Amino acid sequence: MKDNTPASSPERWIIYGANGYTGELIAREAVKRGHHPILAGRSLEKVQSLAAELGLQSLAFSLEDKSSAVQHISGSSLVLNCAGPFS
């Protein structure tokens, strides 16, 4: 039996690489379960499209820019990194 109960408190969490195959699957499942992650990636244009469709917030930053990454993930209880060179 699946537990589809959302977290009891609205925690700030991010799916990085949300515009990729795995990130998108996780984002869609999270929304089905009542969660509201922030979708993030290097290209705002790419993550904004999915975020708009799912009614979520979006961010763009590069993990290679340490100060920018720290600034964007600060205050998040979870960062799920789905970015990668998948082929």
List pLDDT tens digits, range 6-53: 544 468 999 999 999 999 999 999 999 999 999 999 999 999 999 999
Strands of 78-81's sheet in order across = 58-60, 38-41, 13-16, 78-81
Instruction: Give this prediction's pTM.
Output: 0.85
- Map out the domains of the chain with their CATH numbers: 13-81 (3.40.50.720)
Residue 46, φ and ψ in degrees, nearest 5: -70, -45
Tens-digit pLDDT profile for residues 43-72 = 999 999 999 999 999 999 999 999 999 999
85 has pLDDT over 90:
no
pLDDT, residue 8, reads 47
